[in-house]
Amino acid sequence: MSPSERIQRTTDEWQDALTPEQYQVARCGGTERAFTGAYWNNKDTGMYHCICCGAALFSSETKFDSGTGWPSFWDGISAEAISTKSDRSHGMVRTEINCARCNAHLGHVFGDGPAPTGQRYCVNSASLDFKKGS
């Protein structure tokens, strides 16, 4: 299957493939508590992939310590890898980020990140699968 092919599964298929936390975050738009995810403080070199479909999303080369308690990146692996949409939940207006391949909820992007993009992709560890050295 090519990386650009859309992945669609039933609710039951997603629930069977993911842990309850991964399902709640990636498929239901949930959020893990700050400073609790597996990757918020990960400093290893590698690639962060979508927990649902395996698509490459972020490189450790763009990861930075935002102090927020979630993995933060100043850019995605490519413009095609991540889709965005307006999120008006919880009384806020934010930009939600999703895996473009399977529509998994990743987190949100904010305009307060470092150079060169000025972006902060704030991502839930539960939505990611880190592959060291890749």
User: Residue 126 pLDDT more than 60?
Assistant: yes
Contact 127, 106 (CB under 8 A): yes
Could you report the per-residue pLDDT of 39-79, keeping only the tens digit for each?
Answer: 999 999 999 999 999 999 999 999 999 999 999 999 999 98
What is the model's pLDDT at position 134? 64
Per-residue pLDDT for 1 more than 50? no
pLDDT of residue 15: 94
Q: Specify the pLDDT at position 68.
A: 95
- Mean pLDDT, residues 3-22 taken together: 88
Dihedral, CA of residue 111, residue 35, residue 93 and residue 113, to nearest 10: 0
Write down the pLDDT at residue 2: 46
Which pair of structure tokens corresponds to residue 126? 């539960």
Domains annotated for the chain, with CATH where assigned, are 11-132 (2.170.150.20)
Return the pLDDT at 43.
95
Mean pLDDT (whole number) for 104-112: 95
Q: Is the peptide bond before 116 cis (omega within 30 degrees of 0)?
A: yes
Q: What per-residue confidence (pLDDT) applies to 85?
A: 87
Look up the pTM and report it.
0.91
- Catalytic residues, which ones? 122
**What is the Cα gyration radius of the chain?**
14
Average pLDDT over residues 32-40: 96
pLDDT > 70 fraction of the chain, expressed in percent and rounded: 96
Q: For position 79, what pLDDT does the model report?
A: 87
